[in-house]
Structure 1
Amino acid sequence: MRLSSRAVRGGGLAALAKRVCIGSVVMASLLAAGCGSRPEEGFLAPVAEIDPGSTAHTLLVATTRKRDDRPGTLFNGERSTPLDFAKIVVSVPEKHAQGEVEWASTAPGSSKTDFVVRQANYLDDEKAFVSTLNAQLAARPKGKRNVFLFIHGYNTMFAEGLYRFAQVVHDAQAPGVPVLFTWASRGQVTQYVYDTNSATAARDDLERTIRLLFASNAEQVNILAHSMGNWVTVEALRQIRISGGLPHVSKLGRLVLAAPDIDIDVFKSQMRRFGKPAKPFFIVLSKDDKALGASNFLAGGTSRLGAASDSDELAALGAIVVDMTDVKGLDSSNHGKFAQLAAVAPRLNAVLEGGFTTPRSSANAEEIASGSLEAIVKLPITIIGAPFRLIAGR
């Protein structure tokens, strides 16, 4: 019996729906493990009392999310145009554990024990955003006027993206002005397709944000993207390349793609458009990333860049691969290990800024195995870090 095209299409849609359903259940079990209630409402209300031992970080926000009228929420997971902006001061508690976000048990929390907001204001437009950014840059000495741009991933509520970025900034002792680009993720594991479309729809807005940062008074712009945020980041950079490039492109510092949820063949195609970059970029991956395993399933079995097994192939594309497989994750999915990398960022930066040199004569196999960041050899290299590996190509 010959099946009609309608039946075939119907069967295909049914199979796709089943795959999405199963994949969402798998992701839910992975990402929800160990988590309490999500910070959907009220966790961004400014607190009145500030503990003197806490540390403040001023974050600027560019977003495609819709404003939320609920007190202490600011933005939700619905899409909005044009770009919106905000300035938020986040407080990190004195007894903060590196790699963690200390969430309040009830909103808005206490600055003594929790991540909280000290101050939050919407900005009127991109002119106000750039003016605020330049004021933040001017408050830093010359040579330190950098921007640190972060693009979050799938299943991320606004408060989660904000506080995770504040944690990374704090642990990494990042000297630049932190700028969060947050696209309209609904923060629900069952909304993978919606989030994918939201990320894709945000490409032009991220491109615009990047152009604003490069046109500002920043001396350098460093970019960190996580998970699905890598898709919108690489696409925005691809659009910039197609449109003729970026003025002041020399301002581009480090580009870090952490646990990238990108089809590896799509990424290779994107890199063919880019060509091998003048500066190496970084891919942070972990071969035990269970969330990317679920994404792989949803994508029909195609490998994700953040779970790639051939690090040498990625290095040949111009990447320095940071393999964190041997690092014990703080979450059951092993998808958020990049946040733990922030704790060793100051030492890692010192190594990278010093360049890749021949190993010290005193370096030996035992020292390398113990995780010394000083045991470095010429490219192409394998550096055993603490306890991650760096793999670079020529």
Structure 2
Amino acid sequence: MLERGRRMPGLGKARRAAVRVAVLATCLALLAGCGSRPGPDALTPVGATVPGTHEHVILVASTRERDPRPGVLFNGERSTALSFAKVDLSVPPAHKPGEIEWPKQGLGDPSTDMVVREALFRDTQQEFLRDLKSELARRPVGQKKVFIFVHGYNTMFSEALYRLAQMAQDSDAPAVPVLFTWASRATTEAYVYDNNSATAARDKLEETIRLTFDSGAEEVSIMAHSMGNWVTVEALRQIRISGKGLPANKVGNIILAAPDIDVDVFKSQLKRFGKPAKPFVVIVSRDDKALGFSDFIAGNKVRLGAFTNDAELVDLGAIVVDMSDVKALDSFNHGKFAQLAEIAPQLRGSVMRGATANGGTAPDTLSIDGVKISGLDHLRLQSQALNQPATAAAPAPAAPPAQ
């Protein structure tokens, strides 16, 4: 028998790491069984129309491999080229805020499901820019904005697309939604593959960001979720050190939702940035189970999205949106960020009032419907520096933004 407290001979670091992966995959699989995912035909175009549907156009830039099947479009394998697409879709009349009405089997029903109306591949950057400029031209001056959404680990293309549609619908924001989707195999055991895919996508995300700024948009915002934060912060870091920065007057919100980033790594990244002129918005939740498992597999190193010291993140120059007290709609407690879209106008109004208050009478922290927002002093300082009202860093999507 083994003595208590002694390790079995040969159980080295590699084996312990393998055990961690196995435990992680098993636990996540059990949790994933509580939810539902779109079927294999989820993106097959539907021609039927019904009254009361809400139409959206989403532009796509992707490092995924194209898939010839009409209900798939992009699969989970990597492509060395940046691919583009334009997707017209609809949201059903009885859509519930925060929810995604998946087409589960066969063709979706537009009266009850989110469905694709038309999906077209684009072959060049010029075609992508043409579509983006066309969508911007439909907006009046002051609303010619772009919102880039970067999804997270274990995400099918259809899931990322419909998540963005859900937020576009719930936020009722005017910006053109752009989905940057990297090669996730959408399985719990593919954590390492997904992480490497996200890392490999850094240059293509930088390319996509620069393309959107070349479109003539008045403002470009970015929202990343989960592992998507890793590729997003890395791409922004690359832009920062390239010597070819983005036009500061056109940078909107940078929102990091449930970021699956080691806190120490994030701190080192921010040292390169310095305190950003426009603060990052970091959405956290202490009960995020998915990030809890990421902590476990990473050797019990806390992930940024589950960090409990809001004050320390504020000191780094962030605005922190703490959703720990908000009841999640998913079993992981990992998709709470999507629920912000419904209350976006209320949050933006409260943040604006807090950020522009005179005489130091406004608190640095406020709470709305269980959402705690800290770091409003950063907005007040920004407002004073620019000598204009602070509206930029509202913690809810300022535009239509899974894992």
Q: What TM-score do the two structures reach when normalised by structure 1?
A: 0.90
Structure 2: give runs of 5+ residues left out of the alignment: 1-7, 379-403
- Asked whether 1:382 is paired with 2:365, we answer yes
Q: Indicate how the Cα distance of structure 1 residues 13 and 141 shifts in structure 2: closer, same or farther if over 3 A, else same.
A: same
Pair 1:391 & 2:374 matched: yes
| Greater RCO (Cα-Cα under 8 Å, separation 6 or more) | 2
SS of 1:78's partner is strand
8 Å contact kept, 2:225–2:259 = yes
Mapped contact 2:322–2:371 kept (Cα < 8 A): yes
1:156–1:186 contact (8 Å) kept in structure 2: yes
The secondary structure found in structure 2 opposite 1:270 is helix
Report the alpha carbon displacement of residue 51 of structure 1 after superposing the two structures with TM. Answer: 1.2
- Unaligned 5+ segments in structure 1 are 1-6, 361-375
Give, in angstroms, the shift of residue 247 of structure 1.
3.8
Give 4+ residue runs of structure 1 displaced > 6 Å after superposition.
7-10
The residue number in structure 1 matching 2:287 is 288
2:224 corresponds to? 225
In the alignment, the residues of structure 2 paired with residue 246 and residue 41 of structure 1 have an alpha-carbon distance, to the nearest angstrom, of 41
1:140 maps to which residue? 139
SS at match of 1:268: helix
Hey, what does 2:12 align to over in structure 1? 11
Task: Say whether the 8 Å CA contact 1:356–1:377 is kept in structure 2.
Answer: no
Cα distance in 1 between the residues matched to 2:243 and 2:336? 35
CA distance in 2, matches of 1:350, 1:170: 19
Whole-Å separation in 2 of the counterparts to 1:246 and 1:359: 33
RMSD value, Cα? 1.9
CA distance in 1, matches of 2:117, 2:172: 20
Q: Aligned-pair distance for 1:377?
A: 5.4
1:1-394 maps to which residues of 2 (within 5 A)?
Answer: 11-30=12-31, 32-36=32-36, 38-39=37-38, 41-354=40-353, 356-358=355-357, 378=362, 381-392=364-375, 394=378
Describe the shift of the 1:359–1:278 C-alpha distance in structure 2 as closer, same or farther (beyond 3 A): closer
Equivalent residue pairs, number: 370
Percent of residue pairs bearing the same amino acid type: 55
In 2: Cα distance, 1:281 partner to 1:19 partner: 32
Alpha-carbon deviations, 1:263-314, whole Å to 9, x = none? Answer: 0000000000000000112111111001000000010000000000100000
**Could you list the per-position Cα deviations for residues 13-41 of structure 1 after superposition, in whole angstroms to 9, with x for gaps in the alignment?**
211111111111122222x14223x3352
Which one is further off, 169-178 or 348-357?
Answer: 348-357
CA distance in 2, matches of 1:228, 1:310: 20
* TM-score using structure 2 length: 0.88
* Contact in 1 for aligned 2:39/2:106 (Cα 8 Å): no
Please say if residues 152 and 229 of structure 2, whose CA atoms lie closer than 8 Å, have aligned partners that are also in contact: yes
CA deviation vs aligned residue, 1:230-273 (integer Å, no higher than 9, x gap): 00000000000110142423211111100000000000000000
Task: Give the residue type in structure 1 aligned to 2:373.
Answer: L
Checking the alignment, whether the CA contact within 8 Å between 2:63 and 2:81 is kept in structure 1 is yes
